[in-house]
Structure 1
């Protein structure tokens, strides 16, 4: 199972204007730095919470169908919050992609756990590696305001911390408030 980002978020959960206001920054000299810190803070908090904040598109490639698909025709997508399955392709022995028709599966939108329910077990891939591609969307929504406010505040705190401590090596741990804001949204691993 290999995930690949195919469509990055169109916007960040915190705008440059919001971050500059939070930082009390009036000039444009550090706009590029602040924008970079916003992206880094979002990605760091997404990794910590195991959630995606703003809608983005991903592709999951599989060599073969997991046992869950063969036994109960259910595929779990380990990304949250799950928005939609946009395409499922199985490659045949001639290396041609065969798109699975959307009416042959159901993928409940806007669910915590991404689950795709097949009406019947899908065809096995005809090639040994990367024989299955599943495109899907994840995230709280397309707007910055769709991201829960505590996560937006955590991004601002992390941006402020990194901007203040840049170059300092001794005490570079983020403030506890960042983890406290993000902790209620953190998905724990079961495996």
Structure 2
């Protein structure tokens, strides 16, 4: 299945002001670095966990024989399911499953458009995920480095309950 993102996240999991407070910064000298680090580490953490933090519109397309799994979690809404470009496709959606599954009758090329994420503002995102983000950005600021290839132990401990294993 080919995955595509239709829109950017509605919000970042942590605000710049909260990040500066966490780092005890009083000036705006490092704002551009911090904004970049927040976006980069959100992306890295989302890929590591298999989740989407702030709501965004996504889609998948590919050949399916009965069942498709959406690569993002949590799913808040499925806008459309089309098999071989037929708009009136009957589909069963299990949004409670991790990962979310869509069952269709028959086989064919399926296109699914959906909204994934915890919400539209940082307070909708679980606190352990926001705390992990603060730790990652603090590490990047301290070391002037990019997202780690292997997540630090404290970040793994905070985020383990949110990891989607497929």
Match of 1:78 in 2: 71
* 1:9-65 CA distance string (max 9 Å, x none): 111010111111111112112111101111111111111211111111111111x22
Question: What's the secondary structure of 1:153's corresponding residue?
Answer: helix
**TM-score (norm. length: structure 1):** 0.74
Question: Which segments of 5 or more consecutive residues in structure 1 lack a partner in the other structure?
Answer: 92-97, 125-130
Question: Which segments of 5 or more consecutive residues in structure 2 lack a partner in the other structure?
Answer: none
For the pair shown, which has the larger CA radius of gyration, 1 or 2?
1
RMSD, aligned CA = 2.5
**TM-score (norm. length: structure 2):** 0.84
Question: What's the secondary structure of 2:6's corresponding residue?
Answer: strand
Pairing partner for 1:178 from 112, 132, 155: 155
Matched, 1:114 2:92: no
User: 1-side partners of 2:95 and 2:131: how far apart?
Assistant: 27
Task: Give the alignment of 1:34-113 within 5 angstroms.
Answer: 34-62=34-62, 64-65=63-64, 67=65, 69=66, 74-91=67-84, 98-101=85-88, 104-109=90-95, 112-113=98-99
Question: For the Cα contact (< 8 Å) 1:84–1:107, is it kept in 2?
Answer: no
User: 2-side partners of 1:76 and 1:174: how far apart?
Assistant: 26
Pairing partner for 2:137 from 132, 151, 159: 159
Question: What's the secondary structure of 1:36's corresponding residue?
Answer: helix
Question: What's the secondary structure of 2:160's corresponding residue?
Answer: helix
Q: Assess, with a 3 A threshold, how the Cα gap between structure 1 residues 181 and 28 changes in structure 2: closer, same or farther.
A: same
Cα distance, 1:122 vs. partner? 5.7
Question: What's the secondary structure of 2:40's corresponding residue?
Answer: helix
Matched, 1:137 2:115: yes
